[in-house]
Structure 1
Amino acid sequence: MNKIKQTLSTITLQKLKKNYWSVLGFGVIMILIFELSSAFILKPHNDEKIRKTPSLSFDFFPTSTTNQIINHEYYTLSYNEKQEQAEWIAYELKKSYVRSGNFKRPYFIKDPKVKTGSADWRNYKNSGYDKGHLCPAGDMQFAISAYNDTFFTSNISPQLHVFNNGVWKRLEEKTRYWAAKYDGIYVVTGGVLKAPLKTIGREKVSVPQYFYKILLDKSNGKYKMIAFLIPNQKSDKPLYAFVVSVDSIEKMTGIDFFPKLDDKTENRLEKGNDYKSWSFN
């Protein structure tokens, strides 16, 4: 009987050893397969990269006077709680972004990333002012998530309808034209939040008297810049009539728009107001 038990024990031990090495060998094989598949995995399409990688490849952020920087997937803003809107919105508008998405227009909602709370859209109700986009929905029609993010109330500012649907719309369309023509540009835009300003709504959202848009192009390894300062009112003037130097907008706002440019390049670009290198046709 003891010999039988001993024989069974020996057989069981041998099976356990065999199973152990089988399991270990299988594990090693699976690890090798995983490593090899990782090495040869197909890279995602560029559009897939766009959806997964924040647009924070934009590396020309302005300074913030409020120290409340909000990073969304495709644009960044500096929120001014006192004025209940962004003092600037910055983003890269790539050539591949310029397309029509034909998305359903969502409702405006508060920005969950603004710790102090962005203004409620109801402040605009019956105010006589549009909920004017700073980063236009039209610039973000390449992906539904990008498009929807433009409807945070941190991305709007009170604009007269004749301005929003007039000269400002013309400038937004021209900006997309330049983004396609110059293979992408950098955009910084906002209202001039210089007191005293009229306010609307329960939360006293400030109404800028002027809006600015600054564009930077670095195609072909060469920089060029153009800045617009437009009154918040109706105008049929050509867009080039509103071209100013970036320096003049910096003096009005207290914002340094392109601090990461080397000083020589920054000084050269920001003091000029020559628009001839930009196609207005």
Structure 2
Amino acid sequence: MTRWFRTGATLLFGAGIGASVSRLPSVRGGAEEEERAGTLLSSVPVLPVPTVQASELTVSPGGSGALMKYGFPSLANIKTRESYVTSYDPRTRTASWVIERLNPASLNGPSDRKYCNFKEDDRSTNADFRGSGFDRGHLAAAANHKWSQKAMEDTFYLSNVAPQNPHLNQKTWNNLEQLCRSLTKRYLNVYVCTGPLYLPRQEADGKLYVRYQVLGPNHVAVPTHFFKVLILEQVDGRGVELRSYVLPNEPIDEKVPLDRFLVPIETIERASGLHFVPNIMKRTSSLQAITAR
């Protein structure tokens, strides 16, 4: 039987970044915003997990077969690394998405970040970021892959980073990464798909525009937002829980709880052009429509 859990869905939009694609309110406090946010509560399905063979659980944490258990969000420019699988977008010089699988085995090991350096690949360079005011923000986080020095080093390829506001990268985004790791204490596996978004904003003429900065001679795109989609396999094998987050690429008050950035997964699919639910359906017996209230 399919079970459900409910979560609030609110995006935090900074100054000048309007609630565009999904028309979600900003997190600014006050009774009016709280009431509007309440209308965005959504029912997220807990899906039955297919039978998992022992071999799937004993492969290396970064094994691509296990990583892609729930399918590919898109099929362009796929690249497999030691610790993740990614789809690279040559237009933006960043990844469209990165998928990794977290469990206690992937989070423990002898690897050390001090031996890692950012490595140039594809069409961006360290010079593109130098003096830009943006961090080289990991999509697949280094701390997620302590099981192997090479696995951690592979997270330092520039194709696995995107320009990220330093305050966001070091504060709220880091908190979200820590949350993903903490969930491995409650779930069998935590599949994490991370990527950039380029959302429209309403400008003075009342029209919506997609505008973003580019960095360096290679014109590396600066995302307006970032997303994380979590597929959480329950330890007892009874189901899969879905959580999806969108954060703006700007400073966020640390007092704002991460739950305020939960959104319906369709919001991310619509904004990114990626597909998650159809892939999960292939691994489940049924999927009921997600409803909002």
- Is the shorter-chain TM-score for this pair beyond 0.5, marking a shared fold? yes
Is 2:78 aligned against 1:74?
no
What is the correspondence of 1:37-52 to structure 2 with a 5 Å cutoff? 50=60
Q: Post-superposition shift, 1:123?
A: 0.4
Select the residue among 262, 276, 291 that pairs with 1:257. 276
Name which of structure 1's ranges 174-183 and 141-150 shifts more when overlaid on structure 2: 174-183
Partner of 1:151: 156
TM-fit CA distance, 1:154: 0.4
Query: Number of residue pairs matched?
Result: 220
Supply the distance in 1 between the matched residues of 2:124 and 2:288 (Cα, whole angstroms).
38
2:106 alignment partner in structure 1:
97
Given candidates 61, 66, 69, the residue that maps to 2:71 is: 61
Report the Cα offset of residue 191 of structure 1.
Answer: 0.8
Partner of 2:225: 210
Pick aligned residue for 1:239 from 258, 261, 268: 258
- The root-mean-square deviation of aligned C-alpha atoms, in Å, is 2.4
Alpha-carbon displacement from aligned partner over 1:184-241 (angstroms, at most 9, x marks no partner): 2111001114542111111011111110111001222211110110111111210001
- TM-score normalised over the length of structure 2: 0.69
Match of 2:123 among 118, 124, 128: 118
1:32-68 deviation line (CA, Å, top 9, x unaligned): xxxxxxxxxxxxxx98x528x7243121233327x11
Paired with 1:266 and 1:239, the residues of 2 have a C-alpha distance of 29
Between structure 1 and structure 2, the one with the greater Rg is: 1
SS at match of 1:260: helix
Q: What letter matches 1:161 in structure 2?
A: P
Q: TM-score, normalised by structure 1?
A: 0.72
> Partner amino acid for 2:231?
L
CA distance in 2, matches of 1:124, 1:272: 41
Residues 223 and 232 of structure 1: CA distance in aligned 2, closer, same or farther (over 3 Å): same
- Whether the aligned pair in 2 keeps the contact of 1:56 and 1:73 (CA below 8 Å) is no
Which whole-Å CA distance do the structure 2 matches of 1:108 and 1:266 have between them?
43
Question: What's the secondary structure of 1:203's corresponding residue?
Answer: coil
C-alpha contact (below 8 Å) 1:60/1:259 kept by paired residues: no
The answer to which structure has the higher helix fraction is 1
Q: Which has the higher contact order (CA 8 A, sep 6+)?
A: 2
Q: Can you give the 5+ residue segments of structure 1 that lack an aligned partner in the other structure?
A: 1-45, 112-116, 275-281
